[in-house]
Amino acid sequence: MEIALASGIGVLVAAGIYLLLRARSFDVILGLTLLSYATNLLIFSAGRLVPGKPPVLRDGVAPVLENYVDPLPQALVLTAIVISFAMTAVALVLAMRGRHDNRVDHVDGSEPKDRDR
């Protein structure tokens, strides 16, 4: 399970970095989104991947780490999901405004050299 999750995180990071290095604003926003997904998975995996164990204390079960999953990474991931959604919305609005003002969707605002008119 850990190898599959680590591979998934690696693929998301690689795709996110590739998209960040592109010149189009939509690609950059999509790359940031993929990097935030990879970060969320990394934080979530820090809470030990143990299926079937609750994150909260229960009656009749000893309050030791062997019987529970750490709830802090789960709370951090939920917070990060909300923040990344808001960041993506703001970035999309800025990209749409930049496209409207510059008539081109390149990150630096310049026109590509091979553009057909």
Domains and CATH numbers, the chain: 2-50+64-102 (1.10.287)
Over residues 4-34, the pLDDT tens digits come to: 999 999 999 999 999 999 988 899 999 999 9
Say if pTM beats, i.e. exceeds, 0.85.
no
What is the C-alpha to C-alpha distance for residues 9 and 41, in angstroms, rounded to an integer? 7
Q: Find out whether 30 and 38 touch, Cβ atoms under 8 Å.
A: no
Give the C-alpha distances (Å, rounded to integers) separating 66 from 47, 48, 63, 101: 12, 10, 8, 57
Block residue for tokens 């079937």: 52
Half-sphere exposure of 93 (CA within 13 A, CB side): 6
